[in-house]
Amino acid sequence: MAKKKVKKSKKPKRRVKKSKDLTIHFMPYSEIAREDAIGRVKKIMGFVLDNKIVILQGKLKADEETRLIENSMTLIGNISGFQGIEIATVSGNGEEEGVFNKIRHNIARILVGEQDAITIIGPASIVKEMTRDPKKVELMLKKR
């Protein structure tokens, strides 16, 4: 009896959504405030993989940033068209004058998180470069 040939079904590789439109997603801090590090990274990566540029109110913690980079590196090669991310943060850290203002800033940071910053995260397939100076960020987008 002839054996039936079983075709190995190749698992379809996930692709990055292609669109000619550019979407910018503004994420208020409240959207990630209750999430842990994994939840925050997952949420942000979800938008980035949808080819959206995320403007986050506030900033990620140092270990969350490295987790975001690790996550991106894992996805390169596993998700077709994904080349990684571009990220930049601008914050008013250390610009407060006087001890009283610094203490006030630190108390506010403990109570409500680092909200006096803006973090921009975008897929490297769309954002060619983010140039950060101390007080501004410039986004250079790829031609579409």
Partner 1 sequence: MIRIIRNFARRLFSGVFKKKGEIKLGFYGSPNAGKTSLANRICQDWLGEDLGSVSRVPHETREVQVKEKVMIERDGRKVEFRLVDTPGIATKVDFEDFLKFGMKKKEAQERAKEATQGIIESIKWLDDMDAVIVLIDSTMNPYSQVNITIIGNLVARKIPVLVVANKIDLKKSDIKKVKGAFPEYEVVGISAKNGDNIEEFYEELFKLVKKAR
**Can you tell me whether residue 42 is helix, strand or coil?**
helix
Beta bridge mates, 27: 56
| Shortest reach from residue 10's CB to partner 1, in Å | 18
**Helix or strand (DSSP H, E) at 105:** helix 99-112
| Shortest reach from residue 86's CB to partner 1, in Å | 6
Residue 5 vs 136, nearer CB to partner 1 = 136
Residue 32 vs 124, nearer CB to partner 1 = 124
Residue 1 vs 110, nearer CB to partner 1 = 110
| Shortest reach from residue 125's CB to partner 1, in Å | 8
Residue 6 vs 36, nearer CB to partner 1 = 36
Supply 34's token pair.
């209750």
| Shortest reach from residue 3's CB to partner 1, in Å | 35
| Location of structure tokens 């959207």 | 31
The amino acid at 141: L
- 128, 140 in Cβ contact below 8 A? yes
- Cα–Cα separations (whole angstroms), residue 4 to 8, 10, 128, 132, 139: 12, 18, 50, 60, 56
List contacts with partner 1 (CB under 8 A).
Answer: 61-63, 65-66, 69-70, 72-74, 76-77, 83-89, 124, 130-134
